[in-house]
Amino acid sequence: MGQHDTMKNFLNIAEQLCPNNIIVILNKAEFFSSINDSEKEEEYYKKAYDTFPRSVQSCYRYAMFKFENCQDEEAINLINEGIVIDPQYIQNYELLADVADQNNEFENAIDYLQKCIKLCPEDGNYHYKIGEYLLQMQLYDEAITYFNQSIKKIISQTRKVEAHQSIAYCHFQLENFFESFQEYFSSFKINVSNNNYQTTIQSITYLVDEDYLTADEIDEVYQKYIQNNLTFQSQYSHLDLYLD
């Protein structure tokens, strides 16, 4: 008997013993999702939704299914029903932001993420996502504010690197070339073993080679980031040429 058959039998037994248990029903929906049986998947998400008392989790999971199957209006209705049940359930606002994003309604997405920040102010991922939307809207100063806030919150090291890189890009668009230069180097201070810095290296090289910086500005960054760092010395020893 294969792993899927074993799991299916286990879930069938659980359903027989607890036919109205939301966790069992949702797990069975997830099982059908894993074997790409969307018809049975929807059947069980709807079954969970129809089980009373109706739960915020069943509304959210059914809404997620609708959203993933391009049924945005139905998804929004289910999310709003879930919010009435429990307005503190943060995943509902995350999903509303995703729906808004899908429709390029970035301002609405930001509004929903602001609700997430109120519920979980220390999670820097919400600040980061708002920064991304503001960047796409070319509101670079505001984007920088949110990216900086994300760095100070609870956020992965990889996301911190990405935030510094995004800040550098925003500064470049604002023609703050020295600030951009520094931010690119700041991203190197964060230890992420599997990160590919090639794009960042190319951006730094471009700023130098295209004369966006003065010799004094290059010298300041050289002294701060490169002079005592062997990794940077091997990559940027050529910057000595600009300091003569």
Measuring CA to CA, how many Å separate 5 from each of 2, 23, 43, 73, 206?
A: 5, 20, 19, 35, 57
Burial of residue 110 (number of CB atoms within 10 Å: 0-12, 13-18, 19+): buried
Sign of CA dihedral 73, 75, 77, 83: negative
Question: Is residue 2 in some structural domain?
Answer: no
Beta bridge partners of 123: 154
Ramachandran assignment for 70, one of left (phi > 0), alpha (psi -120 to 50 degrees), beta (any other): left
**Which residues, at least 6 apart from 38, have a Cβ–Cβ distance to it below 8 Å?**
32, 69
Give the model's confidence band at 132: pLDDT under 50 very low, under 70 low, under 90 confident, else very high.
very high
Termini Cα distance of the chain: 74
Give the range of the structural domain holding residue 161, as residue numbers without chain letter.
144-244
Looking at residue 234, what is its pLDDT?
A: 52
Please check whether residue 48 is in contact with residue 62, taking contact to mean a CB–CB distance below 8 angstroms. Answer: yes
Q: Is the pLDDT of residue 200 over 90?
A: no
Looking at residue 152, what is its pLDDT?
A: 95
Looking at residue 243, what is its pLDDT?
A: 44
Beta bridge partners of 154: 123
Question: Is residue 213 in some structural domain?
Answer: yes
Question: Is residue 149 in some structural domain?
Answer: yes
The count of domains in the chain is 1
How many alpha carbons fall within 13 Å on the CB side of residue 215? 5
Best CA proximity match to 127, nearest among 167, 90, 155, 157? 155
Looking at residue 197, what is its pLDDT?
A: 77
What value does the mean pLDDT take over residues 137-152?
97
**Which residues, at least 6 apart from 94, have a Cβ–Cβ distance to it below 8 Å?**
112, 113, 116
Please tell me what DSSP assigns to residue 224: I
186 or 197, which is more confident?
Answer: 186
Please check whether residue 98 is in contact with residue 90, taking contact to mean a CB–CB distance below 8 angstroms. Answer: no
Q: Is the pLDDT of residue 112 over 90?
A: yes
Q: Is the pLDDT of residue 230 over 70?
A: no
The beta strands (E) that lie in 13-158 are given as none
What value does the mean pLDDT take over residues 29-46?
94
Question: Is residue 80 in some structural domain?
Answer: no
pTM: 0.86
